[in-house]
């Protein structure tokens, strides 16, 4: 009952806002592993309007990465459908870019060649490719490192290259899977502030998976909390009225009473699911 009401609400909101950029409609995903069946996602419906920065939180193993892989066309759902602009999403393509926790750069290519890679695949001419890649590197503050190799850069810089490589393709949809998970705390805050600016400027629709409640609130227009496995949408919190937070330093914003209130609410919600996930692990 509760689930079908959530589905109706989500669909109604999406219709009111026009065709969403990304729709996941009643997605279920089961994996078969050594004779056992793992239900990673169970009847997940989510509509992300164009230009929205949607952050996704939930306990480990609740299916967050699986959800992104389905949105990216890297996995097929067992049931349900992923849609882009109202049409079946199909396989992966240059208009949907993923940024992973591990930077996934090509180690033998220079920074600029890494950024150019997708443009090369898209058969953009050599001069144009270089100009576009350099302009993007400028935007992420790495123009001076164009000829460096990934191993010569810090983790934060490598992740900036990975983000530049995604944004250079001007994707309609950016799917980020814990992109700052491997960074130290200070670099992470810097990257949050940079991504907030970059994404706001580009206006790209983004789904961003994180384990950090603060990061989710600071960056998100909307925060989706998922339940313990099998993953479902437990709650969706619209925080678009606070999008101006992204223009301020993260630490200043995190001291605001409204931020603290949201953090408390979302922490409680996520913690309930973490407890449910550990109880399930003890039983199984």
Ligand X SMILES: Nc1ncnc2c1ncn2[C@@H]1O[C@H](COP(=O)(O)OP(=O)(O)OP(=O)(O)O)[C@@H](O)[C@H]1O
> Which of these segments, 32-40, 107-115, 154-162, 261-269, binds ligand X (CB under 6 A)?
32-40
Tokens 């409204």 locate to: 258
Query: Tokens 């393509």 sit at which residue?
Result: 93
In this structure, what is the dihedral angle of CA atoms 37, 38, 41, 43, given to the nearest 10 degrees? 30
Q: Which of 14, 22, 24, 62 binds ligand X (CB under 6 A)?
A: 62
CA 123 – CA 129 distance, rounded (Å): 9
H or E segment at 69? Answer: helix 64-72
CA distance 133 to 83: 29
281 binds ligand X (CB under 6 A): no
Contact 139, 164 (CB under 8 A): yes
C-alpha to C-alpha distance for 163 and 167, rounded to whole angstroms: 6
Q: Please identify, among the stretches 14-22, 30-38, 112-120, 243-251, the one whose residues bind ligand X according to the rule CB under 6 A.
A: 30-38
| 72 near ligand X (CB under 6 A) | no
- Where does this chain touch ligand X (CB under 6 A) — which range of 19-27, 54-62, 123-131, 266-274? 54-62
Euclidean distance between CA atoms 130 and 138, whole angstroms? 12
106 binds ligand X, rule: CB under 6 A: no
Q: Does 123 bind ligand X (CB under 6 A)?
A: no
Helix (H) or strand (E) holding 182: none
Burial of 97 (C-beta count, 10 Å sphere; 0-12/13-18/19+): buried
- Token pair 């479902």 in the structure block, residue: 232
65 forms part of the interface with ligand X (CB under 6 A)? yes
Residue from 4, 8, 60, 197 binding ligand X (CB under 6 A): 60
> Cβ of residue 247: shortest distance to ligand X, in angstroms?
29
For residues 250 and 234, give the distance between their C-alpha atoms in angstroms, rounded to a whole number: 26
**Total of residues contacting ligand X (CB under 6 A):** 13
Q: How far is the CB of 42 from ligand X (least distance, A)?
A: 11
Residue that has been written with the tokens 């810097």 in this structure: 190
Q: How far is the CB of 269 from ligand X (least distance, A)?
A: 15
Q: Does 64 bind ligand X (CB under 6 A)?
A: yes
Q: How far is the CB of 67 from ligand X (least distance, A)?
A: 7
User: CB of 33: closest distance to ligand X in angstroms?
Assistant: 4
* Smallest separation (angstroms) from ligand X to the CB of 149: 28
Is 66 among the residues that bind ligand X (CB under 6 A)? yes
**Residues interacting with ligand X, by CB under 6 A?**
31, 33, 38, 40, 58, 60-66, 229
């Amino acid at each position: 009952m509760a689930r079908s009401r959530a589905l109706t609400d989500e669909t109604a909101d999406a219709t009111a806002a026009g065709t969403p950029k990304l729709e996941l409609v009643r997605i279920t995903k089961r994996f078969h592993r050594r004779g056992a069946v793992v239900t990673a996602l169970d009847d997940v419906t989510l509509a992300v309007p164009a230009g929205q920065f949607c952050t996704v939180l939930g306990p480990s193993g609740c299916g967050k990465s699986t959800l992104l892989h389905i949105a990216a066309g890297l996995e097929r759902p067992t049931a349900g459908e992923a849609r882009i602009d109202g049409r079946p999403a199909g396989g992966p393509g240059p208009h949907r870019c993923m940024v992973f926790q591990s930077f996934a750069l090509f180690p033998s290519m220079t920074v600029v060649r890494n950024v150019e890679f997708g443009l090369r695949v898209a058969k953009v001419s050599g001069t144009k490719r270089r100009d576009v890649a350099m302009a993007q590197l400028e935007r992420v503050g790495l123009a001076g490192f164009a000829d460096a190799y990934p191993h010569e850069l810090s983790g934060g810089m490598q992740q900036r290259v990975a983000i530049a490589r995604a944004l250079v393709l001007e994707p309609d949809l950016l799917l980020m899977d814990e992109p700052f998970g491997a960074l130290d705390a200070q670099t992470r805050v810097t990257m949050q502030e940079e991504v907030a600016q970059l994404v706001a400027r580009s206006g790209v629709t983004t789904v961003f998976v994180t384990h950090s409640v603060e990061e989710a609130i600071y960056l998100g227009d909307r925060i989706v909390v998922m339940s313990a496995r099998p993953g479902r949408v437990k709650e969706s919190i619209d925080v678009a009225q606070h999008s101006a937070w992204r223009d301020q330093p993260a630490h200043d914003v995190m001291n605001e009473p409204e931020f603290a209130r949201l953090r408390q609410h979302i922490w409680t919600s996520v913690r309930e699911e973490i407890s449910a996930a550990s109880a399930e692990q003890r039983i199984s």
